[in-house]
Amino acid sequence: MRRLVDSALAITKELLKTFMYESLNNTARLINGVSALLLSILLGKANILEGVQGWELRPTFHGPRFPRWMENGVSSFNQFIHELSLESDTSSIDYSSDDNNLDDTYPASPSSHGSRSSRTIFPINNAWHWTDLMACILSLILLPARLLLWMPFLVFRLLNIWGSKTSSDPGNPHLRNFHSFRNMHTNKDHVVNRSIDRRRGVVEDLHLAIEIFIEAIFDMLHKTVHCVLSPSSAFRIFRKLFSSASAGVKDVDNDVLNASIPPVTLGDKDPAPTERNPTLHHALNTDARTCKDIITELGYPYEAIHVTTADGYILLLERIPRRDARKAVYLQHGIFDSSVGWVSNGVVGSSAFAAYDQGYDVFLGNLRGLVSRGHVDKNIPSRKYWWFTVNELGTKDVPAMIEKIHEIKTDELKMIQPDEETNDEQPYKLSAIAHSLGGAVMLMYTVTRLIEQKPHRLSRLTLLSPAGFHDETIFILTVAHYFVVPLGPILAFFVPALYIPTRFFRMLFNKLARDFHNYPALGGLIQTVLSYTFGGDSSNWVGVMGLPHYNMDDMPGLSLGVIHHLAQVKWKGKFVMYDYGNASANMKAYGSPVPIDLGEYYSLIDIPIDLIAGLKDKIISAAMVTRHYKLMKDASVNVSYKEFEYGHLDFTKSNQEDILAYVMSRLLLVEPALKHQTSQKKTLKLKKKGQASS
């Protein structure tokens, strides 16, 4: 009878699992098929994914041949990586490096000791806001989906606890075999696990959750039926439970007295096995890699530097250090972006790695505006943290980071080469590459420093589709600009910034990006809708959604103050600083009743400027970049202008070799700082000359 019941339960369980699995699978196929049908209806968009780069949701290696910018000055490591990627055709391989080795090879700079963490660890402030109430309501609505998504994590934790108890038992006969197997496969598994994208999407999580739920229900049902069919067995089980509970204390004492500690031998060939507890994002299979993770996995050195601005914001300045280099480059991201954008295309397609291979000391700036809200005031209210404009980015954030770079480079070069001097107080040359809003921020920084007669430390600026003029924008941005100008301060009181508010919805966004990749027609439909929304911009919007800085732990946001400032720029038709709304406030900030028009001060710029525009860019059109060029040309600035057939995000998020080759060619125009002899040698030469003349 029991065998018959077991067979019936097993068959029913498998039938139910198959039915649920196929139902969910068919639903996903239906969504993908409908997306394909809609794509075929949209004229010219059925092949939206053909030729679109950046779809990979992790750094990969591209290129059928060696890129032009790497023909000279490329490191042997990257040449090996490129040849390996072409010969083996395994573009998903990652090469990780040990942090300990990096610390030995590249000692920390004297100005940044202890700065080896990849992410700034700041408490997330929980100031109550009406958005929190909306988030709570949405969380209650989606509670069933949350339970299904969290079930795999809970089961994983239970299995992990059970496995740890089993492995810690000294009498376990499988313990020795387990450790030997793990020691034999540790290195291989490390490479394989890092090289495979194990992130699951929402559909895959639902598959797993349904299977675990059915298994748990039928296991409970199976035990209940056995107890009903064999009461004697059930009675013995209950008696054993009660007897073990009464003798529990005595058993524990005996176990403690009789416990034996197995000897452990530490050595190079047999190190002590250690395990890292899985974190939440690992258990839920979301991609939460940081810029450090990407850089170190690809074999490059890394350093994190925490910078505090004049108004208390704590920024993360990241670095690919080349400490003895006399030429450095600073890369600045744009809106809804971070330093990850400069390394997201892997070894061959990223500006940061390209500059490092050309001998540059690379610094990656991160502007204020993260969900983690890094600030010296750990209890700063959300509304107060998020109220900043482009002014603060250009006059607070960038100066703090560039002065930190100057401090670090000066100290390092004096330490590495103490017997050498340069012809001025700056023993290195610093160039800057900026994209989108970052370009406007760098222009504001340069012009304001020149107005204040302070050194800007820069030798060259390369600006990729820079903001600053927005007369010609797409319809949706035009409506938003004219709506935000009169209502900006009021909206900022209720919605201080644009970002995904809770960890659950950020996790959901991360997993949806995986689903868009698994179902190409659905991803293509989203890509098409976003492309139409942004005026036909051909950027790879879906690929950008998969970048790891949009994760459940943190993400870059956009302040309403920045939006209001950009709306003022469009309203006035000039590249102006923020208008505070009254003459007294403007007088206090600028010394004049109206905000400063930065375009009028372009004649002060004393360094070469390279402007690069995209003909398919609908966010910042080529005509708007030309406005910068004409003003600079009229002001006798050493400026160049170049156009490419790409969209707004293609300058940083896609592996476009021609853009990268041009940017590197402009960067290499800057000669490194010349080395000069010490003052002692100069005095000796002067003495010899004086004796000869006498």
pLDDT digits (tens, 9 = 90+) for 166-189: 444 444 444 444 343 334 433 333
In the chain, the amino acid numbered 246 is: S
Q: Please say if the pLDDT value at position 20 is more than 90.
A: no
Instruction: Determine the Cα–Cα distance for residues 454 and 448; give it in Å rounded to an integer.
Output: 9
In the chain, the amino acid numbered 409 is: K
Element (H, E) at 445: helix 437-451
55 confidence band (pLDDT: 50, 70, 90): very low
Q: What percent of the chain has pLDDT over 90?
A: 33
φ, ψ of residue 632 to 5 degrees: the values are -70, -40
Q: Looking at residue 316, what is its pLDDT?
A: 94
Q: What mean pLDDT comes out for the span 71-99?
A: 46
- Which of residues 408 and 26 earns the better pLDDT score? 408
Q: Are strands 639-644 and 497-498 parallel, antiparallel or unpaired?
A: unpaired
Long-range contacts of 656-662 (CB under 8 A, 24+ apart): 656/53, 656/349, 657/63, 657/67, 657/68, 657/69, 657/349, 659/464, 659/612, 660/67, 660/69, 660/349, 660/351, 660/354, 661/67, 661/68, 661/69, 662/612
Residue partners of 409: CB distance under 8 A and separation at least 6: 328, 361, 427, 428, 430
pTM over 0.85: no
By C-alpha distance, which of 310, 287, 289, 286 is closest to 298? Answer: 289
**Partners of 364 in the β-ladder:** 318, 331
Q: Is residue 648 part of a domain?
A: yes
Instruction: Determine the Cα–Cα distance for residues 484 and 469; give it in Å rounded to an integer.
Output: 17
Q: Please say if the pLDDT value at position 66 is more than 60.
A: no
Containing structural domain, residue 403: 291-419+426-669
Q: Please say if the pLDDT value at position 634 is more than 60.
A: yes
Question: In this structure, are residues 481 and 567 in contact, taking their beta carbons and an 8 Å threshold?
Answer: yes
Q: Looking at residue 679, what is its pLDDT?
A: 42
**Helices and strands counted in the chain (H then E):** 27, 10
Question: In this structure, are residues 118 and 290 in contact, taking their beta carbons and an 8 Å threshold?
Answer: yes
Q: What mean pLDDT comes out for the span 650-672?
A: 88
504 confidence band (pLDDT: 50, 70, 90): confident
Q: Please say if the pLDDT value at position 96 is more than 60.
A: no
**Partners of 365 in the β-ladder:** 332
312 confidence band (pLDDT: 50, 70, 90): very high
Q: Is residue 580 part of a domain?
A: yes
Instruction: Determine the Cα–Cα distance for residues 586 and 580; give it in Å rounded to an integer.
Output: 6
Q: Please report the DSSP string for 265-280 in residue order.
A: ---SSSPPP--PPP-H
Q: Looking at residue 234, what is its pLDDT?
A: 66
Q: What mean pLDDT comes out for the span 466-473?
A: 88
Query: Averaging pLDDT over each range in 209-218, 255-264, 481-490, which range is the top one?
Result: 209-218
398 confidence band (pLDDT: 50, 70, 90): very high
Instruction: Determine the Cα–Cα distance for residues 567 and 583; give it in Å rounded to an integer.
Output: 19
Q: What mean pLDDT comes out for the span 356-364?
A: 95
By C-alpha distance, which of 447, 360, 437, 466 is closest to 405? Answer: 360
Q: Tokens in use for 139?
A: 């969380």
Q: Please say if the pLDDT value at position 190 is more than 50.
A: no
Instruction: Determine the Cα–Cα distance for residues 565 and 582; give it in Å rounded to an integer.
Output: 15
Instruction: Determine the Cα–Cα distance for residues 136 and 577; give it in Å rounded to an integer.
Output: 38
φ, ψ of residue 60 to 5 degrees: the values are -135, 175
Q: What mean pLDDT comes out for the span 145-161?
A: 57
Q: Is residue 607 part of a domain?
A: yes
Q: What mean pLDDT comes out for the span 437-445?
A: 96
Looking at residue 395, the DSSP 8-state letter turns out to be I
232 confidence band (pLDDT: 50, 70, 90): confident
Q: Please say if the pLDDT value at position 333 is more than 60.
A: yes
Phi-psi region of 162 (alpha: psi -120 to 50; beta: other; left: phi over 0): alpha
3-state secondary structure 58-113: CCCCCCCCCCHHHCCCCCHHHHHHHHHHHHHCCCCCCCCCCHHHHHHHCCCCCCCC
By C-alpha distance, which of 135, 59, 593, 14 is closest to 347? Answer: 59
Q: Are strands 558-559 and 497-498 parallel, antiparallel or unpaired?
A: antiparallel
Instruction: Determine the Cα–Cα distance for residues 442 and 457; give it in Å rounded to an integer.
Output: 12
Q: Looking at residue 158, what is its pLDDT?
A: 56
Question: In this structure, are residues 380 and 125 in contact, taking their beta carbons and an 8 Å threshold?
Answer: yes
Q: Tokens in use for 373?
A: 């809200």
Query: Averaging pLDDT over each range in 250-259, 484-493, 541-550, 564-573, which range is the top one?
Result: 564-573
Q: Tokens in use for 33?
A: 């098929």
Instruction: Determine the Cα–Cα distance for residues 637 and 450; give it in Å rounded to an integer.
Output: 14
Q: Is residue 336 part of a domain?
A: yes
Instruction: Determine the Cα–Cα distance for residues 617 and 436; give it in Å rounded to an integer.
Output: 11
Helix 130-141 vs helix 143-167: angle between axes, to the nearest 10 degrees? 80
Question: In this structure, are residues 52 and 539 in contact, taking their beta carbons and an 8 Å threshold?
Answer: no
Look-up of token digits 């994209």: 435
Instruction: Determine the Cα–Cα distance for residues 460 and 455; give it in Å rounded to an integer.
Output: 14
Q: Looking at residue 613, what is its pLDDT?
A: 95
Any idea which of 285-294, 426-435, 617-626 has the lowest mean pLDDT?
A: 285-294
**CATH number of the structural domain spanning residue 549:** 3.40.50.1820
Mean pLDDT over the full length of the chain: 74
What would the pLDDT profile of 237-271 be if each residue is shown by its tens digit? 767 766 665 555 455 445 444 544 444 444 444 44
Q: Please report the DSSP string for 597-662 in residue order.
A: BGGGGGGG--S-EEEEEETT-SSS-HHHHHHHHHHHHHTT--EEEEEES--STHHHHS--HHHHHH
Q: Looking at residue 284, what is its pLDDT?
A: 61
Q: Is residue 80 part of a domain?
A: no
Instruction: Determine the Cα–Cα distance for residues 118 and 431; give it in Å rounded to an integer.
Output: 24
Q: Looking at the 3D structure of the chain, how many domains does it have? A: 1
Instruction: Determine the Cα–Cα distance for residues 365 and 403; give it in Å rounded to an integer.
Output: 12
Q: What share of the chain is helix, strand, coil (3-state, %, to 5)?
A: 55, 10, 35
Q: Is residue 633 part of a domain?
A: yes
Q: Looking at residue 424, what is its pLDDT?
A: 57
435 confidence band (pLDDT: 50, 70, 90): very high
Sheet holding 609-614, edge to edge: 303-308, 314-320, 361-365, 327-332, 429-435, 458-464, 609-614, 639-644
Element (H, E) at 17: helix 2-41
Any idea which of 196-200, 469-473, 577-581, 670-674 has the lowest mean pLDDT?
A: 196-200
Q: What mean pLDDT comes out for the span 492-507?
A: 84
Q: Is residue 305 part of a domain?
A: yes
3-state secondary structure 170-184: CCCCCHHHHHHHHHH
Three-state SS at 110: coil
Q: Is residue 204 part of a domain?
A: no
Q: Is the Cα dihedral 44, 41, 647, 295 positive or negative?
A: negative
Residues in the chain: 694
